[in-house]
């Protein structure tokens, strides 16, 4: 397979997750990614441990998000390091950065400064909350962005208080948004020769992820969503939507007409799915405790009821389709012409490719 981005060179100045995730997606589609790291230990993600497991002395998280990239250390605060960075940029197609607003300008690598070096560059920026306004100076971190965008009130049950999403949803969604913008800008460049500046933020990405809820809220007199007492899965959808404890395991029920579900469960489910949501869901919950989730999934699924047993990772791997196994370890979630490129096994050691890159790009 000819990779769609073969021949594209990306210079990645970003750290942690959001920017490196965008660079990883481009790499998975065939781009070459050169990761520029600072001399003080490199990307902070190398030391951002999510477990006591290490790969080549660095965190597993670093290798998951930086697999297949090349690493070079440049001190952008020195004339020599900045000059080398500019020579790299002059020969690149894409540049990515996620410094706090103002930092990249002070370093001498703002979009306008870079465009003067390479007019056709496609330049990607991720911030926490945009480049201006009262929030612009605040730390752009995933949990804090979840806290500031209302997202924490959409998960969990009514009495739980705010519940964060248990993965870095702001970073990953912002990285995905930036990837879309970079691909669109590269496509425009192919047609017009024009480069461009693609910008997004954790704030914009999380608000976009909530578009369904925010649109409903604004259209419904700003009536907020309500979480159910138990098994809450959506703040606006009516019964039976939710997650239910069974005799063993749990079962998720999606949108299903109550009369059909009532017949399948031999249960009276007459009532309004929205106004009577709590009462109806309690009746369903009581009935589902009669059998294990595996039995309910088989019985209800055979009757066309949209349901799924709640699986652990081990169960997903054991019981899932071949596609599940294709995605372990995590790989590009896109297939091109029926094929998925195999993921690189790990990220680079700090400054691993310095000698080769300095020779190739005449950085000394």
What DSSP element (H or E) covers 55?
strand 54-55
How high is the pLDDT of residue 1? 61
Q: What is the pLDDT of residue 55?
A: 73
DSSP string spanning 305-359? --EEE---HHHHHHHS-HHHHHTSS---S--BTTB-PPPPS--PPTTTTHHHHHH
Candidates 25, 175, 195; CA nearest to 98 is: 175
| Run of H or E residues at 244 | strand 242-245
d(CA 179, CA 26): 7
The CA-based angle 20-14-115, given to 5 degrees, is 115
Q: What is the pTM of this model?
A: 0.92
What local confidence, expressed as pLDDT, does residue 54 receive?
78
Contact 45/130 with Cβ under 8 angstroms? no
Cα–Cα separations (whole angstroms), residue 127 to 66, 243, 301, 308:
19, 35, 44, 38
b/e map 282-301, b = 16+ CB within 10 Å: ebbbebbeebbbebbbeebe
CA proximity to 206, closest of 135, 104, 310, 110: 135
Q: What was the pLDDT predicted at 148?
A: 97
Q: From first to last of its 364 residues, what are the pLDDT tens digits of the chain?
A: 689 999 999 999 999 999 999 999 999 999 999 999 999 999 989 987 677 777 777 889 899 999 999 999 999 999 999 999 999 999 999 999 999 999 999 999 999 999 999 999 999 999 999 999 999 999 999 999 999 999 999 999 999 999 999 999 999 999 999 999 999 999 999 999 999 999 999 999 999 999 999 999 999 899 999 999 999 999 999 999 999 999 999 999 999 999 999 999 999 999 999 999 999 999 999 999 999 999 999 999 999 999 999 999 999 999 998 889 899 888 888 888 888 888 888 999 999 999 999 999 999 8
For 217, phi then psi, to 5°, come to -60, -45
Q: 């005449």: which residue's tokens?
A: 362
Return the pLDDT at 66: 95
Rg (CA), the chain: 24
- Residue spans of the domains in the chain: they are 9-209+348-361
Half-sphere exposure of 138 (CA within 13 A, CB side): 16
Over the range 242-272, which residues count as b (16 or more CB within 10 Å of their CB) and which as e? Answer: bbbebeebbbbbeebebeebbebbeeebeee
Q: What is the pLDDT of residue 337?
A: 83
- Catalytic residue numbers, as ranges: 171
Fold of 9-209+348-361: Rossmann fold (3.40.50)
Strand, helix or coil for residue 36: strand
Contact 28, 332 (CB under 8 A): yes
């Amino acid at each position: 397979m000819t990779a769609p981005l073969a021949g594209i060179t990306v210079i990645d100045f970003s750290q942690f997750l959001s920017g490196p995730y965008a660079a990883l997606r481009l790499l998975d589609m065939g781009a070459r990614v050169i990761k520029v790291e600072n001399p003080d230990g490199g990307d902070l993600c190398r030391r951002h441990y999510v477990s006591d497991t290490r790969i080549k002395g660095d965190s597993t998280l670093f290798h998951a998000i930086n697999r297949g990239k090349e690493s070079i250390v440049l001190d952008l605060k020195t004339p020599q390091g900045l000059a080398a960075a500019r020579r790299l940029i002059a020969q690149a197609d894409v540049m990515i950065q996620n410094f706090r607003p103002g930092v990249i300008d002070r370093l001498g690598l703002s979009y306008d400064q870079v465009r003067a070096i390479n007019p056709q560059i496609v330049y990607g920026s991720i911030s926490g909350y945009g480049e201006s306004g009262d929030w612009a100076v605040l730390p752009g971190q995933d949990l804090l962005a979840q806290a500031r965008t209302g997202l924490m009130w959409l998960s969990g049950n009514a009495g739980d208080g705010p519940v964060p999403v248990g993965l870095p949803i702001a970073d990953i969604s912002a990285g995905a948004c930036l990837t879309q913008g970079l691909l669109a800008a590269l496509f425009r460049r192919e047609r017009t020769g024009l480069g461009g500046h693609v910008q997004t933020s954790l704030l914009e990405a999380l608000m976009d992820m909530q578009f369904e809820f925010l649109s409903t809220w604004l259209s419904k007199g700003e009536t907020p969503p309500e979480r159910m007492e138990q098994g809450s899965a959506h703040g606006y959808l009516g019964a039976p939507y939710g997650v239910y404890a069974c005799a063993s395991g749990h079962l998720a029920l999606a949108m299903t007409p109550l009369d059909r579900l009532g017949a399948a469960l031999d249960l009276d489910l007459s009532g309004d799915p929205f106004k009577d949501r709590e009462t109806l869901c309690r009746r369903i919950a009581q009935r589902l405790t009669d059998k294990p989730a595996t039995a309910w999934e088989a019985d209800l699924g055979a009757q066309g009821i949209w349901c799924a047993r709640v699986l652990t990772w081990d169960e997903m791997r054991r019981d899932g389709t071949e596609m599940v196994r294709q995605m372990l370890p995590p790989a590009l979630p896109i297939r091109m012409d029926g094929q998925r490129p195999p993921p690189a096994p790990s990220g680079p050691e700090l400054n691993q490719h310095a000698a080769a890159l300095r020779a190739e790009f005449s950085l000394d």
